[in-house]
Structure 1
Amino acid sequence: MGKASKPTTPVRIPTDTVIQGNYFDDNAVYRSILLNPMLKFDDVLDAVKLKTSLERLLSRHDWRKLGGRIRLNEIGKLEFSIPKQFDDLRPGFSYSHEHFDIDILEHSVASQIPKATSKPAVLVEAKKFVSLTRRPDAPSKLEDYLYSDEPQLGIHIVSFRDATLVSILWPHICGDASAAKAIFDAWSLVLQGRDDEIPPLHGFDNDPLAQLGLNPREKYSLVAKRLTVFQIIVFWIRHLFETLWGGDEGRVMCVPASFITSQREKALQELASGCHENEKQFLSESDVLCAWLAKLSISDLPKSSNRTVLISNALDFRGLLAKDLLPGNGVHLGNAVMIVHAISTVRDVSRMPISETALAIRRGIEHLGTRDQLEAHQALLRESIDKTKVPVVFGDATMNLIPFTNWSKAKYFETNFSGAVTKVGKPLEGRSNGKGIPSYAQNCTLNRGLSKFVIMGKDVEGNFWVTGFLRKGLWENISKMLERSPLE
């Protein structure tokens, strides 16, 4: 059998507008991930109206950027080729729609979409709903975009007699979770006839973050913990070995509002009565949630181990740049995320109260999440990407990395598609979410990179929804532990 021929890039259309990709969007990690958020609505939405309203959004001069085709230029950098006009032959986004003339609870897969629980619980496989979030031949990797005329944005709608699922499929190189939510929000404004309220984009044909990290005013606080190239190689080999040898499993969890509230109150009381009693302390619900999940994720390791634990949080830095590079009146459809860290050990996370780990997480956010530290971090990130194509890594080569991607601030559960509702599927008086407001949200991506936990955010009742990927067999043990006691 002959050697498989190398795929070829589609011929460039002379009338296309070609713009360069943003610097920080183009790295090996982002190239490996497709975002695939799915929203479940307890109402029947008009699929045609959803399609035509999104087409109207992409007809705007700046928002048409979403219709660009992803390409690599002659030096291997990302660029986007935007059609002069969108039509049936070259649409602004891919669109697919499935209709089932049954109630959602009659569908073999959709009926398993979880409902909130009264105590923390492991509920369903993370990959369970992938077939409901994309068409069968949808892209699964970046190459599927590079060697086709596939639009970067894909929409998939699944309709039932009493509910609707709306999903988007979008490469991470095009934007992060907040950028994806911005698409939902602008789409919602069109549905409501509020086109004049749609915010402009920052940088249609230029990179608004082009100067970020070029002139740092201070050193990054964790620069001494930066891994060398050799250490990074050792870390990745260990990570790949542990993943391939032990395997991992993805599960969706519900963490009820009442549990997080009580855990936060307990943590603050512990800090006030312990060695931190003379310090004014603040812990967010997310700090406590991450600390609790971190403890669960190492519950199968020896509690006496001194192995480093690096708890990493992806922090949206748009707010830090609101006075200059990213003014608040616009939308950045790109990646604006820095990683902040808390360093501990398996022994301390296992044995110490959750309050101490939560405090370490909060201190990491406060110390590393400033504008000056952002500049310093991005300077190191630039250096690492230019030399190795991968982001800078901190910690040590044998650490247990626990990465969190927290989508809470994007507020997916507040998406308002009421403008597309044709029929209320579930009586409004019997539910917490309003008409056209999702009752469930999940990121259904399969190529998740290093994300161990994706916190999708809080539903309208305040319950957190989390997708986690842990070592094979660990979820079963966690389920048993939660049945006995949720580590209170």
Structure 2
Amino acid sequence: MQDAIQDRTGDQVLPLRFWDSNDVFLKLALDFTFRFDDVLDPEKLRSSLERLLQIGDWHQMGARYKKNSKGKVELRIPQQYDEDRPGFVWSHDNRQQSITENELARRIPRLVKASRPTLHDDSCIFEDLVTRPGHPTKLIDWTEKDHPALSVHVVSFTDATLITLSWPHVFFDALGRQSLLQAWTAVLDGREEDVPVFVPYKDDPIVAIAEGAKPSDYVLFTSALTGIWFVLFIINFIFEILIHPKEASLAELVAKGAREQDVFLSHGDVLLAFWCKTTLAAQHLRPSRPVHIINAMNLRGVSAELPSPDKSAYIGNAVIGALTLTTVAEIEALSMSELASRVREDLKTQKEPRQVKSLVAWTLDRYKSGARLAMVGSWNQIMFSWSNWNRARFYEVDFSSAVVRSGLNGEDRMSKLGRPSFIMNRGHGDGISIRNGGPLIGEDANGDWWVSWPMRAEAWSEVEKALKTC
């Protein structure tokens, strides 16, 4: 538990939880857009979210991020919210036209029956449509202004609605977002008794995970990059960014291939293996090149200190990486199910309580000493970072209580009333480049899976060729 003070404005001042102080979380911001093939009532959406901030400790969600005299980011929680200092930023754009009549919006995918994997436009081309002008994209936009963490932008068409959530990554991860959406829709439905309890910002339960643990017990502790090897890793990473321009895309992966795999593997395991093999092959890397696979794992429900999202709302970050160290040659030699099994086995090992505790203890020790997050592996490794968001069930978000009318009917409609027909994600890096890493957004109503991924621009033509053979 962290002590709180008040500043001159009466705001409650708290330090960031230590896990949220991760450099990656501080340097990333995200936009997350839902497409609904329905007309939603923006006032019902706004008022229900506003009401949520009046329930229990949910008002803390409107905290501001500011830097203190030592340059450290801290939280400042207003005592109350009004038009001048809202708990979230709300904006609405009423287009008064069909989504099919808007030259840009008509390119946004929706659910269709797919027979094979397909590629879609980079989500960045829709940014001006789905976000308000001048919306924040890096932490300084929050720390130097009086912005709450969350912005919501609604775009209304006569037959569809787009809802975009924008926030700095330090605010929350995928399961934190799930908790917010569950609480928001509960209020919208008139089920306030189902709103999960908000874990106060003064509580830092991840610190407790490290109690009594030894960092040296972590299975990859001796693989840490230090000294000149860490410097070479940074130089190699910068070289990759400068030499190979980045391009992002959305991939729709049909599920039938995953269902043919070993029943002991999840869809996420198989899709990770498929995408890893496909994208690395497209980049024509040396067979001897080391590969560092990061398979994001959430601590909620894994550690006793952090209950599952259905029991409480931990609005923050609780993600660690289950790591697999391998090579391009090994990935090429392994079958898809063999690679999926290898990654699953590493996840199983690193998910054990002793391993989780040791990794958190190691991270906490480095945090207290002012050191950066440890990096393990080889100095010339290529990173592959995979975050499976399907546990959050974003395609099952239900805003049906805000539906004014359906915008799409008949055989063309694949999604249920008030549920998204498409979801896209966009990341904004401040001083870091997002490369070879992204989310498995989840499974849609058709049983197909969506991946958002940035990598070398020249590799996408190779990926497209590979997908056509699936």
Tell me the equivalent position of 1:48. Answer: 43
Tell me the equivalent position of 1:5. Answer: none
Matched positions, count = 458
Tell me the equivalent position of 1:275. Answer: none
Tell me the equivalent position of 2:458. Answer: 473
Structure 1 residue 74: deviation in Å?
2.7
Q: Do the aligned partners of residues 173 and 476 (structure 1) sit closer, same or farther apart at CA in structure 2, a change above 3 Å counting?
A: same
Partner amino acid for 2:455? L
Partner amino acid for 2:18? Y
Tell me the equivalent position of 2:3. Answer: none
Where 1:241 maps in the other structure, the secondary structure is helix
Matched, 1:179 2:160: no
Tell me the equivalent position of 1:89. Answer: 84
Tell me the equivalent position of 1:17. Answer: 12
- Alignment partner for residue 228 of structure 2, among 227, 230, 241? 230
Which whole-Å CA distance do the structure 2 matches of 1:153 and 1:302 have between them? 40
Which whole-Å CA distance do the structure 2 matches of 1:151 and 1:324 have between them? 27
Q: Do the aligned partners of residues 165 and 172 (structure 1) sit closer, same or farther apart at CA in structure 2, a change above 3 Å counting?
A: same
Q: Percent identity?
A: 31
Query: Over aligned residues, Cα RMSD in angstroms?
Result: 2.0
Tell me the equivalent position of 1:136. Answer: 133
Is the Cα contact below 8 Å between 1:202 and 1:326 reproduced in 2? Answer: no
Tell me the equivalent position of 2:270. Answer: 288
- The unaligned stretches of length 5 or more in structure 1 are 1-10, 269-280
Tell me the equivalent position of 1:199. Answer: 196
Partner amino acid for 2:375? V
Which whole-Å CA distance do the structure 2 matches of 1:154 and 1:337 have between them? 23
Which whole-Å CA distance do the structure 2 matches of 1:372 and 1:353 have between them? 31
Q: Do the aligned partners of residues 301 and 79 (structure 1) sit closer, same or farther apart at CA in structure 2, a change above 3 Å counting?
A: closer
Is the Cα contact below 8 Å between 2:434 and 2:454 reproduced in 1? Answer: no
Matched, 1:355 2:340: no
Tell me the equivalent position of 2:381. Answer: 399
Tell me the equivalent position of 1:74. Answer: 69
Partner amino acid for 2:233? F
Q: Do the aligned partners of residues 428 and 16 (structure 1) sit closer, same or farther apart at CA in structure 2, a change above 3 Å counting?
A: farther
Which whole-Å CA distance do the structure 2 matches of 1:216 and 1:344 have between them? 27
Q: Do the aligned partners of residues 352 and 94 (structure 1) sit closer, same or farther apart at CA in structure 2, a change above 3 Å counting?
A: same
- The unaligned stretches of length 5 or more in structure 2 are 1-5
Is the Cα contact below 8 Å between 1:305 and 1:345 reproduced in 2? Answer: yes
Structure 1 residue 232: deviation in Å?
2.4
Partner amino acid for 2:278? L
Structure 1 residue 12: deviation in Å?
5.3
Which whole-Å CA distance do the structure 1 matches of 2:414 and 2:325 have between them? 39
- Length-normalised TM-score, structure 2: 0.93
Structure 1 residue 387: deviation in Å?
4.3
Structure 1 residue 226: deviation in Å?
1.6
Partner amino acid for 1:305? P
Which whole-Å CA distance do the structure 1 matches of 2:115 and 2:366 have between them? 45
Matched, 1:250 2:235: no
Structure 1 residue 209: deviation in Å?
2.1
Partner amino acid for 2:441? M
Which whole-Å CA distance do the structure 2 matches of 1:380 and 1:342 have between them? 18
Which whole-Å CA distance do the structure 1 matches of 2:306 and 2:94 have between them? 44
Which whole-Å CA distance do the structure 2 matches of 1:343 and 1:203 have between them? 37
1:407-426 alignment runs, 5 A limit: 407-426=389-408
Where 1:55 maps in the other structure, the secondary structure is helix
Which whole-Å CA distance do the structure 2 matches of 1:62 and 1:233 have between them? 44
Tell me the equivalent position of 2:307. Answer: 326
1:240-319 alignment runs, 5 A limit: 240-262=238-260, 264=261, 268=262, 282-301=264-283, 305-319=287-301
Q: Do the aligned partners of residues 324 and 260 (structure 1) sit closer, same or farther apart at CA in structure 2, a change above 3 Å counting?
A: same
Structure 1 residue 482: deviation in Å?
2.1
Matched, 1:127 2:124: yes
Where 2:367 maps in the other structure, the secondary structure is helix
Is the Cα contact below 8 Å between 1:102 and 1:161 reproduced in 2? Answer: yes
Partner amino acid for 1:369? K
Greater alpha carbon shift after TM alignment, 12-21 vs 306-315: 12-21
> For each residue in 1:56-82, what CA deviation from the matched residue of structure 2 results, as whole angstroms up to 9, or x when unmatched?
001123111111111122333322112
1:28-43 alignment runs, 5 A limit: 28-43=23-38
Q: Do the aligned partners of residues 39 and 303 (structure 1) sit closer, same or farther apart at CA in structure 2, a change above 3 Å counting?
A: closer
Structure 1 residue 246: deviation in Å?
1.1
Which whole-Å CA distance do the structure 1 matches of 2:355 and 2:314 have between them? 21
Partner amino acid for 1:84? Q
> For each residue in 1:362-404, what CA deviation from the matched residue of structure 2 results, as whole angstroms up to 9, or x when unmatched?
1011110122211111112223334455322121111111111
Tell me the equivalent position of 1:335. Answer: 317
Where 1:66 maps in the other structure, the secondary structure is helix
1:140-155 alignment runs, 5 A limit: 140-155=137-152
Is the Cα contact below 8 Å between 1:26 and 1:77 reproduced in 2? Answer: no
Structure 1 residue 118: deviation in Å?
1.7
Structure 1 residue 48: deviation in Å?
1.0
